[in-house]
Chains A and B, each alone.
Chain A
């Protein structure tokens, strides 16, 4: 049995309390909305792409929406991909998703979410922001929901 401390690691609690890049990006040229209809959580993601590079990124969640896992995941994701080329962001997306599906840990601080694997009911929370990022980078106009993506 895994411990609550494996799920709510300090880095996750910290990013939940003080989410980074928790802002609207006015110069964004890509955006996506993510929605988990099971719990009502919503994320609005803003991405500023300059050529092939993510020069700025931010996210917002309506008041009271967003559990610690989904908020910290979005926050750490924005830190991880900011300033990176799109291809790096997409490979981090795959690594993160694979980690939650039981694969190897994702690189760097993203590994903090490895504990989510033991809490199947929370995997969608951790994945939500990443799927929104993927949609934004694909320039998909469709809002992302945790109930539509096959590999959520």
Chain B
């Protein structure tokens, strides 16, 4: 496991109290906390390098541009992108997926076509495709999941028989922790003639990601879930696809020449980055990537896996607890319910002990319907969590059981 005694002091917020208790932050699948180095990188950028990028002839503007483009290189390295220009900065996974739907999707999906998503997708990898399909008269096909919370490969195969234009799926499920066989899914989808869109919001913080090994066409990530600032994120795409795609947002920076009645477009990735970009977010994300690389992503994965296994083992000893998601290999996400205590009540009770968990549908309403629950409680782990945090979680859950009279 990672040495959390050395990691925790890097995160100022963790020394804070929550309701007078030690802060036990277990909502990392929603957003991660930020190390001082990321906060410092943002402050440093504004203190010493702030200017608008890609246009100034003066030194400061050159420095800002260099910082911004260095961040792009860091993202490319982190996911082993095909090229640096394969990285388009966005506000996060949601905007990245909307970019693909709004640009590639609008240009290529026609009436009668189909788009495939899975029943474990986050709303951000469902709703943009619903909007596209409704606009185009295309069909959205949702692939079912198995009882143990994996993508049903037989149903995935059936969905591919229609020859979909786009196949979208999460690498890691935010609600179940399932790690999907992304390379295999991508290969199958390609054989059926589809382009693949991988929601990497939960995989990027937790796994060593290599988009060339996955051989997906589009990969979306959010910086704020991987120690970076909110509003940072990227779409990583095969450059040939980006070249052929129409722009997403019109504005400054994304153009080559502007005539009175028409324009020509800048090179990729700038074609997709209309307007002044969020340089602060890119710089912060680069610092976050460096922090994760220094820890080593394999060690990050192993740490979370160990915490998840321990949490599952300890929670399972409490009568009335149901754990959702696959047995064995999973990301550091542990969704559970406890007797007939509603997850919102659980979350309120845990909060009193300083334990922050998420309760609700986790932006996966189709999945909740299939699990047959209105909501679940979810504990999710990251690099600064340790065994003490699991002790606090289990203790607070037992307390909730006593308060609500669930038999122990």
Tell me, yes or no, whether B403 is within 8 Å of chain A by CB.
yes
Asked whether A148 is an interface residue with its Cβ less than 8 Å from the other chain, the reply is no
The answer to whether B348 touches A7 (Cβ under 8 A) is yes
Closest Cβ neighbor of A7 among chain B residues: B348
Residue of A nearest to B352 (CB): A4
Pick the contact of B342: A38, A42, A68 (CB < 8 A): A68
Stretch in contact with the other chain, from A23-31, A73-81, A84-92, A119-127:
A119-127
Counting CB contacts under 8 A, is A41 at the interface? yes
Q: CA of A109 to CA of B373 in the docked complex: distance in angstroms?
A: 31
| Interface flag for A65 (CB, 8 Å) | yes
User: Is B19 an interface residue when CB atoms closer than 8 A count as contact?
Assistant: yes
Summarize B's interface: helix, strand, loop or mixed.
mixed
Judging by beta carbons under 8 Å apart, are B344 and A4 in contact? no
Q: A1-B19, A39-B361, A62-B374 are in contact. Are A67 and B345 (CB under 8 A)?
A: yes
Q: Chain B 337-354 against A: per-residue CB contact (8 Å), 1 yes, 0 no?
A: 000111111001100100
The answer to whether A39 and B344 touch across the interface, beta carbons within 8 angstroms, is: yes
A39 with B360: in contact, given A8-B403, A64-B374 (CB under 8 Å)?
yes
A-B contact count (CB 8 A): 60
Which residue from chain A places its CB closest to the CB of B346 in the assembled complex?
Answer: A67
Residue B112 at the chain A interface, CB threshold 8 Å = no
- Cβ of B407 under 8 Å from chain A: no
- Interface status of A13 (Cβ within 8 A of chain B): yes
- Asked if A40 CB lies within 8 Å of chain B CBs, one says yes
> Does B375 sit within 8 A of A, measured CB to CB?
yes
Contact partner of B344 (CB less than 8 A), chosen from A8, A62, A63, A122, is A122
A69: CB under 8 A from chain B?
yes
Determine whether A34 belongs to the interface, using a CB cutoff of 8 Å to chain B. no
A40 engages B368 (CB within 8 Å): yes
Q: Is A58 an interface residue (CB 8 A)?
A: no
A7-B348, A64-B374, A64-B375 known; A38 and B404 CB under 8 Å? no
A63 / chain B contacts, CB cutoff of 8 Å: 372, 374
* Cβ contacts A8-48/B at 8 Å (1 or 0 each): 10000100110000000000000000000011111000000
Inter-chain CA distance A64–B374, complex, in Å, is 6
**Cβ-defined partner of A64 (8 Å) among B19, B352, B373, B403:** B373
In the complex, what's the smallest C-beta–C-beta distance from A34 to chain B, in angstroms?
14
B359 is an interface residue with CB less than 8 A from chain A: yes
Residues of B within 8 A of A66 (CB): 342, 374
- B328 contacts the other chain (CB 8 A): no
Contact of B348 among A1, A41, A122 (CB under 8 A): A122
B80 contacts partner chain A, Cβ-Cβ < 8 Å = no
- What's the nearest-Cβ distance from chain A to residue B335, in Å? 14
Among the interface residues B368, B404, B405, which one has the most CB atoms of the partner chain A within 10 A?
Answer: B404
* A69 to B341 Cα, complex, angstroms: 11
Contact A39 B348 (CB under 8 A): no
> Chain A contacts of B340 at CB under 8 A?
64
Which residue of B has the minimal Cβ distance to A17?
B405
In angstroms, Cα B365 to Cα A13, docked, is 28
CA distance A65 to B405 in the complex (A): 19
From B343, B360, B373, give the contact of A38 (CB < 8 A): B360
Whether A65 pairs with B349 at a CB distance below 8 angstroms is: no
Interface 1/0s, chain A 108-123, versus B by CB < 8 A? 0000000000010110
Pick the residue among A4, A121, A122 that contacts B403 (CB under 8 A).
A4
What mask results when residues 348 to 387 of chain B are scored 1 for a CB within 8 Å of chain A, else 0? Answer: 1100100000011100010010001111000000000000
Cβ-defined contact, B349 with A125, below 8 A: no
Contact yes or no, A121 B374, CB < 8 A:
no
- A69 lies within 8 A of B345 (CB): yes
Closest to A3 in B: B352
Given the known interface contacts A1-B20, A39-B359, the answer about A119 and B348 at a Cβ–Cβ threshold of 8 Å is: yes
Within 8 A of B (CB), among A115-146: 119, 121-122, 125
Instruction: State the A residues within 8 Å of B (CB).
Output: 1, 4, 7-8, 13, 16-17, 38-42, 62-69, 119, 121-122, 125
10 pairs of A and B residues whose beta carbons are closest in the complex? A67-B342, A65-B374, A67-B344, A64-B374, A40-B361, A39-B360, A68-B345, A40-B374, A67-B345, A64-B373
* Interface residue ranges, B against A (CB under 8 Å): 19-20, 340-345, 348-349, 352, 359-361, 365, 368, 372-375, 403-405
Pairs A–B under 8 Å by Cβ, sample size 18: A1-B19, A1-B20, A4-B349, A4-B403, A7-B348, A17-B405, A39-B375, A40-B361, A40-B365, A40-B374, A42-B374, A64-B340, A64-B373, A65-B374, A68-B404, A69-B345, A122-B344, A122-B348
